[in-house]
Amino acid sequence: MVKITKQYTNRESQSLDKYLQEIGKVDLLTPQEEIDLARRIKKRRSESAGETDEGKFAFRG
């Protein structure tokens, strides 16, 4: 967990400070989790592209 202890910019609104505090509570992905996620995304995009290509040929009139 990352804790922000110093304000680096001059912000009038506290919303960004609140966001940064909240996002700091979220665990980051490990390098292996990031790789696995990227592979799943790539596979699904590839599968989706295949479905789109097949769909082009499905309607011949």
pLDDT tens, N- to C-terminus, the chain (61 residues): 666 666 666 666 788 888 888 999 999 999 999 999 999 999 999 888 776 555 555 555 4
Alpha-carbon distance of 18 to 54, in angstroms, equals 47
Domain ranges of the chain: 15-58
pLDDT at 26: 92
